[in-house]
Structure formats: structure tokens, C-alpha cells
Amino acid sequence: MANPPPYFSAGPYSAPAPAAKDQDAAKEDQDVAQLVLELCVPELREKALLLLSKKREKCEDLALLLWHSYGTMAALLQEIVSIYRSLSPPKLSSEQSTRVCNALALLQCVASHPDTRMPFVNALVPLYLFPFLNTTYKTREYEFLRLTSLGVIGALVKFDDNEVVAFLLTSEIIPLCLRAIDMGSELSKTVATFIIQKIMLDDAGLAYIYASSERFCAVASVLAQMVEELVEQPSPRLLKHIIRCYLRLTDDGRACNALRNILPTVLRDGTFNDLIEVDLTARLWLHQLLHNIMMMSNGGGGPHPVLGRAMGM
């Protein structure tokens, strides 16, 4: 807004001049609103994406603005689909990757806001990110896309909403997370494992994993693979998510034998004691996990109806 005319702030009945801080905030809001408009102008879009993704933490209502303003979501989706054809065979430039990651950062903002999260899911926007999770290249450009896309899904599952999990289960996100774990950096592995953890903590999510032995085995073998890798390349954060996933799997008492057979020895023999020494929660979870598995092997529950048959139990 332009400076108010001088008479506006003079005289006994005028409102007090806004504090300098409010003025700054108002100016900031105005800048953000202008940048959102610029997303719809192709020549201005790249710069606007960059500046907005930098400002996104500071602007509380950015999600509402992005979601409700005319043409903005379409512009962001257009950014995303515009690089699909460069994904495979691999032709993605680092400029393309950065630009799309900035668009993804804005989508993450929409995914995080309680008022826009379900509309975002119901509009099936998360599905547009799946091609980025499905790539099999490990270069920086692809890794950056993978990680930022996982960040959007991570933001969706962070709030333990059953509706979000129900959507994700129908969308086959789990195999994509397993692929991202296979292909991705430690950071991508951590976010993907966090997503799987959050989905499994939901009852429908756990039931989904246990609905077939293929699903259970796919998840369990990826977890075990990561545990083995952690021996060489320790990451306390990743280990903690993995332990929580295993612990949740023990909530289905009937899967005991299967779990007992596949739990990596390094989780039982104290290999990681130093790594999680300072993290009380992680230590408790590991302790509980080993306890559950031990109790189960002493005859807790019968064979699992699905796993029992497939795994010769």
C-alpha cells in the first residue's frame, strides 16, 4: 500500500499510526500476494517459485493463498508435468530439477495446512508426484526430486489423519516408498521410512501390510536391508524409524514367527547400542520390540492366516 496521505494520521480522532513491525508484515503479505499472481505469468514464474519457496515458512496463510487463488494450483501442476518427458531416458537438467523442487516446496505448504490438506488429497494432487518417486536414477537432480516429493507425502502423513492414510493406501504409495528407499540417499530413506511408519501406525495401514505375504515380505526385507547398511553407515534417525516400524509389526501377534525369523541379528546383539544411547525413546522401542518377539516365540497366538501358509508355518 502507498503511504497514507498526511491528513490521515493527523488530528485527535485518527487511528494511531501502525507500528513499524505491522507495516513490515503488511508489506511482506503484499509481496507474497504479488508473487502468487506472478506464478501464472510464464516469464515470471521461475523467479516467483524461487522467492515464494524461500518465504514459505514465514507466511502462515500461504497455503490458503496458493489453494484458493485463481490458476495457481494449475500453474504448479503444469510445472510438475512439464518435466515428465525428461525423466526417462534421463535428460533432466539441474535447472529443471531445482525449478520443480521449488514448485514441490509450495505443494508441501498446501499439504501441511489443516484447511487445505484434505482438498489437496481429494483433488488427487499427490498422484502427480509419483513419477518422481518411481525413478531409478541416483544423480543429484533425481535425488532432489525424490526427496522433495517424499517431503510432500511426509507432510500429509505427519498429522495422523485416517482419511489421508486411506487415500494413500489406495494409491499404492508403499511400493513407491520401498523403491525410494532402494534408490535414495540416507535422507530419502529416512523420509520414506517415516511415511511407511506413519501409515502402519494407522490400523488400516497395518492391516494392509498384513493382507498378503508378498506385502509383508517386501516391507520386511527392505527394513532388514536398511538395518544391514546402517552397520556401515550409521544414522540414528533412520534407525529409530526402522525400529518403530518393526515394533508396530509386532502389534499383530500372529505374525510372530515370521518376524522372529527375519529380524536382523544386529538389532538383537547390541550392535547399535552406542548409536541410540542418547535417545531414550529409541532404546525403549528396541527393548519393547525384542521383548515382544521373545514373548511371541514362547507361543503367543497361532500362525498368521496369511503369513502362516506362505512362510511354511
CB of 222: closest distance to ligand TRP in angstroms?
Answer: 9
CB of 204: closest distance to ligand TRP in angstroms?
Answer: 13
Q: Which is nearer to ligand TRP, 113 or 146 (CB)?
A: 146
Q: What does R_g of the chain's alpha carbons equal in angstroms? A: 24
CB of 214: closest distance to ligand TRP in angstroms?
Answer: 6
CB of 174: closest distance to ligand TRP in angstroms?
Answer: 4
Residues that bind ligand TRP (CB under 6 A): 172, 174-175, 178, 212, 214-215, 218-219
**Which long-range contacts link 296-302 to residues 24+ away (Cβ below 8 Å)?**
296/250, 296/253, 296/256, 296/257, 296/259, 296/260, 297/256, 297/257, 297/260, 300/253, 300/256, 301/253, 301/254, 301/256, 302/254
Amino acid at 46: E
Task: Please tell me the distance from the alpha carbon of residue 52 to that of residue 49, in angstroms, as a whole number.
Answer: 5
C-alpha cell at 210: 498384513
Cβ–Cβ < 8 Å for 49, 39:
yes
Cβ–Cβ < 8 Å for 295, 289:
no
Burial of 11 per CB tally in 10 Å (0-12, 13-18, 19+):
exposed
Q: Which is nearer to ligand TRP, 219 or 243 (CB)?
A: 219
Cβ–Cβ < 8 Å for 182, 222:
yes
CB of 50: closest distance to ligand TRP in angstroms?
Answer: 36
Q: Which is nearer to ligand TRP, 215 or 283 (CB)?
A: 215
CB of 208: closest distance to ligand TRP in angstroms?
Answer: 7
Q: Which is nearer to ligand TRP, 218 or 266 (CB)?
A: 218
Cβ–Cβ < 8 Å for 281, 240:
yes
Place of cell 506385502: 215
Residues in the chain: 313
Q: Which is nearer to ligand TRP, 215 or 237 (CB)?
A: 215
Burial of 44 per CB tally in 10 Å (0-12, 13-18, 19+):
middle
Q: Which is nearer to ligand TRP, 148 or 197 (CB)?
A: 197
Q: Which is nearer to ligand TRP, 115 or 214 (CB)?
A: 214
Burial of 21 per CB tally in 10 Å (0-12, 13-18, 19+):
exposed
Amino acid at 116: T
CB of 169: closest distance to ligand TRP in angstroms?
Answer: 9
CB of 177: closest distance to ligand TRP in angstroms?
Answer: 9
Amino acid at 183: M
